[in-house]
Amino acid sequence: MFPLTLHPHLMHALFEIAAVSSGAYYYRYIMRRNGISTQALLNGGRFAVVIGCIFGAAIGNKAMFWLEMPQLFPQFWNQPEVWLAGQSMVGGLLGGLIGVELAKKFSGVTSSTGDAFVFPILLGLIIGRFGCFVAGLDDGTYGLPTTLPWGVDFGDGIARHPTQLYEIVFAGALWLGLHYTQRHFLLRQGLLFKLMLGSYLFWRLLVDALKPNPFDYGLGLSGIQIICIVALFIYLPYAYFQIQRRSIEA
């Protein structure tokens, strides 16, 4: 039986705070390493970008939760506290991306800003998924039943795919791969973020097939998987053309 189910909400909240705090601190460290002081982050366009990222991620987080579970809307639409429930990494990433792009448009920032977020996002993801894992059944990110030897009983007597741990391993491998790419290849600004986001969306499209589907939109696809497909269809061409331009210049 899974051992850490005594205070799942508290455990998850602590890991969530640690994930956000660690990611923010690491982002600040990267910016300072690149010669951008904390004071500079609070001025002008860079501050607008950070604010756009925070608000966009928060909105996307909640919107994706309701898209994933639309069957709850008729029952809870008039309960404000429920609107604040739920978390979604995919929603946070895509919402943050939209928020950053809107902030850049209105603040006049033209340079790419996404690359500095890549490793802080992965760090926060790794820590956050540990929180999802220790929260067990209360978190809702566990996998389908499995007979594989590494299946985990989260407290209901059923061995399930530990999809939270799968994602931790994936995020670690992606970190190493992107770090190697960054060190050994001359990348255009923004390409590192595109590679990270595209890889994560494709991963979620696959791994969510191992999770219970709270609402089937057809063909066995969940709301998150549908959004991943749409986002990949729209976003991947940008990464492809950026790689192509690099190849031509080389």
pLDDT tens track for 35-88: 777 666 666 677 788 888 888 988 898 888 888 888 877 776 666 656 666 678
Query: Residue range 110-122: average pLDDT?
Result: 86
pLDDT, tens only, 21-31: 999 899 888 88
End-to-end Cα separation, the chain, in angstroms: 55
pLDDT bin (cut points 50, 70, 90) of residue 245 is low
In angstroms, rounded to a whole number, what is the distance separating the alpha carbons of residues 96 and 81? 22
pLDDT number for residue 222:
94
pTM to 2 decimals?
0.89
Q: CA gyration radius for the chain?
A: 19
Backbone angles phi, psi at 144, to 5 degrees: -75, 160
How many other β-carbons are positioned within 10 Å of the β-carbon of residue 222? 22
In angstroms, rounded to a whole number, what is the distance separating the alpha carbons of residues 238 and 218? 28
The token duo for 73 is 């809307």
pLDDT bin (cut points 50, 70, 90) of residue 205 is very high
User: What separation in angstroms does the CA of 235 have from each of 33, 45, 163, 229?
Assistant: 29, 24, 25, 10
